[in-house]
Structure 1
């Protein structure tokens, strides 16, 4: 065997070995590339799912916020309507006149007079424009006198130093009680609940 043959055999063996190493390298590179592609696909899928969850969560937050804002506006509008109704009723109470005003004022004074002892000096206050009406009603009461103006829609405030009692029987106070006691029903009728 000649040296050339030995060199040729070594070369062939080296080429074969190099070819095996290259084939193994390519196979390993394909495995690595395939695993990297699988990892990349999983990362993309996870990112898409996370983005979808975030979008859904953001949508839910905005929807919830919009519902809350709508509810607040609805409540605000209802408060405004109730305020307008209350103001209209107060205006109508202030505008009462004639027999109706006299009858209501007399009824409120009668109710208040039950709180005082006979012989007490009783002071009666009322709306300035009702002074004449109140004085004419007080002609029926002994020891009662009109003592001055009271800022109200109508009715009377009655007090006595002897019994240390003060009774507020104004249209305002009666209306306030009726309003508070019936607010839910008023609201239900106005808003059909």
Structure 2
């Protein structure tokens, strides 16, 4: 065996070993690449699930927000309708001619029950009702028309002697009736909803 043969055998062995190392490295690289691709696919799927979950959350939030806004808009519209109805009733009460004297007398009678017989009572009312009030007050001893009060009608009576003030205006009666019947009014106006 010559030196050349030994060198050639060593070279062949080295080449075989290098080929073996290269094959192992290629196999290991393929395994690493496969694992990396698997990890990348898992990360991609996880990220996609997160994005879909976030989209669903945002969709739910926007839907809830839109529903709340629509509900608030409906409530605002109902409040506007109720306000319009109240103002229409108020205008009808202010323009009331038939029964105005009878209602004014009833409110004055109710107020008179709060005062002592010897009290001097000053009565205030709507400017347009001055003649009516002065006419009615002629029937009451110690009562006098004292001036104007900003209201739809009715009276405000007060006595310094007994320190009593009674507000029996159409406004106060309307407010009380409105509050007592608001649910019923709403149900009638919005029964289809």
When normalised by structure 1's length, the TM-score is 0.95
Runs (4+) of structure 1 moved beyond 4 Å? none
Deviation at 1:4, TM superposition (A): 2.4
For residues 48 and 65 of structure 1, what CA distance do their matches in structure 2 show? 25
Indicate whether 1:182 and 2:189 are aligned: no
Tell me the SS of whatever aligns to 2:168: strand
Correspondence for 1:125: 124
1:136-166 Cα shifts (integer Å, max 9, x gaps): 1112211111111111100011111211111
Correspondence for 1:92: 92
For residues 129 and 29 of structure 1, what CA distance do their matches in structure 2 show? 103
Correspondence for 1:44: 44
Deviation at 1:120, TM superposition (A): 1.5
Correspondence for 1:146: 145
For residues 165 and 70 of structure 1, what CA distance do their matches in structure 2 show? 49
RMSD: 1.2
Deviation at 1:46, TM superposition (A): 1.1
For residues 127 and 19 of structure 1, what CA distance do their matches in structure 2 show? 114
Correspondence for 2:32: 32
For residues 117 and 56 of structure 1, what CA distance do their matches in structure 2 show? 73
When normalised by structure 2's length, the TM-score is 0.95
1:103-162 Cα shifts (integer Å, max 9, x gaps): 100000010000111121111111111111111111221111111111110001111121
Deviation at 1:175, TM superposition (A): 0.9
For residues 121 and 13 of structure 1, what CA distance do their matches in structure 2 show? 134
Q: Unaligned regions of 5+ residues in structure 2, if any?
A: none
